[in-house]
Amino acid sequence: MTATEVGREVMTWDELGAGARALAEAAYADDFVPDVLLAVSRGGLLAAGAVAYALGVKSTFTLNIELYTGVDERLAEPVLLPPVPDVVDLRHARVLVVDDVADTGATLELVKRLCAAEAADTRCAVLYEKPRSTVRCEYVWRRTDRWITFPWSAEPPVGSDARLHAG
């Protein structure tokens, strides 16, 4: 562990696979096999794909939501970015929302509000849930109050100045 990782939760690629599988197993054990899997982009994309495969769910959607602007820096409210799936596609569906982390809960609150009018049942699965989250997810791999370094964002974007890396 490097000095910059001290005090952080550091997830490995292997842990991503194990965490996603555990989320799928928890949903299945709860007798919740969704009709639709909704990935919260960008952080939830990889976990959502792995959960969708583990549950055999082929109907997947992505919601692009921006909240974080840097390491522990965020907008006042999450912003929904285009393209936005038509919620009528979720009519009467059992929806599993997958994201990497429930930090403040604001992003998942927004997603749950979007699904509420049409979906029959909406549940959330996250790799990590923080104690301050206003949303209590039905399926959680780990709980932490630390900043999380995910394997997909551990390195700065290709060609970028490492000092500007948002994590």
pLDDT tens-digit map of 79-119: 777 777 666 678 889 999 999 999 999 999 999 998 988 89
3-class secondary-structure state, position 112: helix
Q: Which long-range contacts (CB under 8 A, 24 or more apart) does 47-50 make?
A: 47/16, 47/19, 47/20, 47/23, 47/98, 47/99, 47/100, 47/125, 47/126, 47/127, 48/98, 48/99, 50/16, 50/17, 50/20, 50/21, 50/24
Half-sphere exposure of 90 (CA within 13 A, CB side): 29
- Residue 67, pLDDT score: 67
Sign of CA dihedral 31, 32, 35, 39: negative
Q: Tens digit of pLDDT for each residue in 24-73?
A: 999 999 999 999 999 999 899 999 999 999 999 999 999 988 766 566 66
Is residue 10 predicted with pLDDT exceeding 50? yes
Q: Please state, in angstroms and rounded to a whole number, the distance separating the CA atoms of residues 149 and 151.
A: 7
Describe the crossing of helices 13-29 and 45-55 by its angle, rounded to 10 degrees.
50
11 has a pLDDT exceeding 70: yes
Does 165 or 89 have the greater pLDDT score? 89
Note the CATH number of domain 3-151.
Answer: 3.40.50.2020
pLDDT score at 80: 74
79 Cα distance to chain centroid: 15
- Residue 69 to residue 37: CA distance in whole angstroms: 26
Residue 117 has a pLDDT of 84
Residue 5 pLDDT exceeds 70: no
Whether residue 3 has pLDDT greater than 60: no
Predicted pLDDT of residue 36? 94
66: left (phi > 0), else alpha (psi -120 to 50), else beta?
A: beta
Predicted local distance difference test score (pLDDT) of residue 69 = 59
